[in-house]
């Protein structure tokens, strides 16, 4: 691919500075400051539309209306993703700017998303991924407001996708990257997730998620005491897994993690449950270690099942027949692929040049994001923050502050300009980017 930063340039940052000084681009960069209020209002409004995973429809419809009001050709695809083009050139190659629609928690009432006196925004999803969606709209509006940029078709597509969080299993991005899908026309993905600009996620952290279910006959806590108890067995399985050395990161080995994030079962305090269920998230930098964790989970469940059934059988032996044995089932409910972007990839080189220009010192890191899917397929992708400050993601105390958002938006826009010039040199000659 052609590259914007020529060998004659003494510094990539200076080359980006010259690019940013071009009148058409300078006006867009200024727009992010002059329209700060408009961006904050869109941020508040979108976050007040509940969008838990699998229930993103209302927010998607709102996003489509926003894009259409800007003059974009926008629609919702069969997976529920919002796809928007600023104008023309929908055949590609394209640069994709994306942000996920869904949140882990949802506001019960719109007023649960509230501005604070300190300028912060409080409530579920305001940072993850309200910040990313607000940036997606801001970039789109800035581009669509510039007549100089819209003189010719722009090789860009804006995507607000479903299914990034929890058991969504990256369903929206998987649909986009399916064989023969939209990704066949996409040269690079820039994924916006959260606010921080301190990290560049260019290595995809693989994960596998399982649901463990144990079933038994149940009974009364007194009269049926000793009956095999699914909750007891499940607790044994979790404790055995967590205490096993194979579940820990070795000093010289790849990092691993596990999290039993949901446990449920039973009907009352004086009833022996008929069912117990847990959901666990396993992650590792190594696919081999990830498979080892999955195998260890199976062994833990089998060990706990045998132990609980043997205990119940011994208790009832010689007295009367046992009311029944426990059974167990392990079901995989999610799997995120791994992958990585090469250190010399144009996408990463352009982003680092823009960071040098803006004075951003970002670290390369590994995480699990929408970028996992394209990276696993060899499509250049990064996940970055959208600017601003935030915290408390996935908790009721989530917050966002717009201080520093403009720098994040300028970073995104300048990186897109470099990428668009890469895939469409004719556009550069026409002074589009």
Angle (CA) 228 232 234, round 5°: 110
Classified by CATH at the fold level, domain 12-205+338-429 comes out as: Aminopeptidase (3.40.630)
Domain with CATH 3.30.70.360 in the chain: 207-336
pLDDT reading at 433 higher than 50: no
Average pLDDT across the chain, whole number: 92
Provide mean pLDDT across the span 15-37: 93
Classified by CATH at the fold level, domain 207-336 comes out as: Alpha-Beta Plaits (3.30.70)
Q: What does the alpha-carbon distance between residue 416 and residue 275 come to, in Å, rounded to a whole number?
A: 51
Cβ pair 258, 210 in contact under 8 A: no
Residue 2, pLDDT score = 32
Lowest-pLDDT choice from 164-168, 280-284, 425-429: 425-429
Percent of the chain with pLDDT over 90: 83
Residue 83, pLDDT score = 98
SS3 of the chain: helix, strand, coil, percent, to 5: 40, 25, 35
pLDDT reading at 176 higher than 70: yes
pLDDT reading at 337 higher than 60: yes
Provide mean pLDDT across the span 16-41: 94
Provide mean pLDDT across the span 41-46: 98
426 — pLDDT class (breaks 50, 70, 90): low
Cβ pair 131, 195 in contact under 8 A: yes
Cβ pair 353, 188 in contact under 8 A: no
pTM of the model: 0.89
Task: State pLDDT tens for residues 67-82.
Answer: 999 999 999 999 999 9
Cβ pair 325, 305 in contact under 8 A: no
Provide mean pLDDT across the span 314-335: 84
Task: State pLDDT tens for residues 202-245.
Answer: 999 999 999 999 999 999 999 999 899 999 999 999 999 999 99
Burial of 333 (0-12, 13-18, 19+ CB in 10 A): middle
Residue 222, pLDDT score = 94
Residue 15, pLDDT score = 84
Residue 151, pLDDT score = 67
Domain with CATH 3.40.630.10 in the chain: 12-205+338-429
């Amino acid at each position: 691919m052609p590259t914007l930063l020529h060998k004659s340039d003494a510094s990539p940052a200076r080359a980006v500075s010259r690019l940013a000084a071009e009148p058409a681009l300078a006006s867009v960069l200024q727009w992010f400051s002059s329209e700060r209020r408009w961006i904050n209002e869109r941020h508040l409004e979108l976050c007040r539309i509940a969008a838990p995973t699998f229930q993103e429809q209302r927010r998607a419809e709102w996003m489509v209306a926003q894009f259409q009001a800007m003059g974009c050709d926008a629609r919702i695809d069969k997976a529920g993703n919002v796809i928007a083009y600023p104008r023309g050139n929908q055949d590609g190659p394209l640069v994709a700017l994306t942000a996920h629609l869904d949140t882990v928690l949802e506001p019960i009432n719109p007023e649960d998303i509230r501005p604070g006196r300190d300028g912060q925004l409080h409530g579920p999803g305001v940072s993850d991924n309200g910040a990313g969606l607000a940036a997606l709209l801001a970039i789109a509006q800035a581009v669509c407001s510039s007549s100089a940029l819209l003189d010719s078709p722009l090789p860009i597509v804006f995507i607000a996708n479903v299914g990034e969080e929890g058991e969504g299993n990256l369903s929206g991005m998987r649909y986009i990257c399916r064989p023969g899908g939209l990704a066949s026309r996409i040269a690079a993905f820039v994924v916006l997730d959260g606010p921080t600009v301190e990290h560049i996620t260019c290595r995809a952290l693989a994960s596998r998620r399982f649901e463990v279910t144990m079933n038994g006959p149940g009974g009364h806590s007194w009269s049926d005491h000793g009956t095999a108890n699914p909750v007891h067995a499940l607790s044994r399985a979790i404790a055995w897994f967590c205490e096993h050395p194979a579940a820990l990161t070795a000093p010289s080995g790849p990092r691993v993690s596990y999290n039993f994030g949901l446990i449920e079962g039973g009907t009352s305090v004086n009833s022996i449950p008929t069912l117990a269920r847990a959901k666990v998230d396993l992650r590792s930098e190594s696919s081999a270690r990830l498979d080892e964790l999955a195998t260890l989970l199976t062994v833990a469940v089998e060990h706990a099942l045998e132990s609980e059934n043997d205990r119940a059988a011994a208790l009832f032996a010689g007295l009367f027949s046992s009311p029944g044995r426990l059974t167990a089932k392990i079901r995989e409910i999610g799997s995120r692929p791994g992958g990585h972007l090469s250190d010399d990839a144009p996408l990463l080189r352009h982003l680092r040049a823009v960071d040098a220009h803006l004075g951003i010192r970002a670290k390369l890191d590994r995480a699990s994001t929408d970028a996992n899917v394209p990276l696993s397929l060899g499509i250049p992708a990064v996940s970055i923050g959208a600017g601003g400050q935030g915290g408390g993601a996935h908790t009721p105390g989530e917050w966002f502050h717009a201080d520093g958002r403009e720098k994040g938006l300028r970073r995104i826009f300048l990186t897109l300009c470099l990428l668009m010039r890469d895939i469409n040199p004719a556009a550069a000659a026409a002074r589009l980017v």
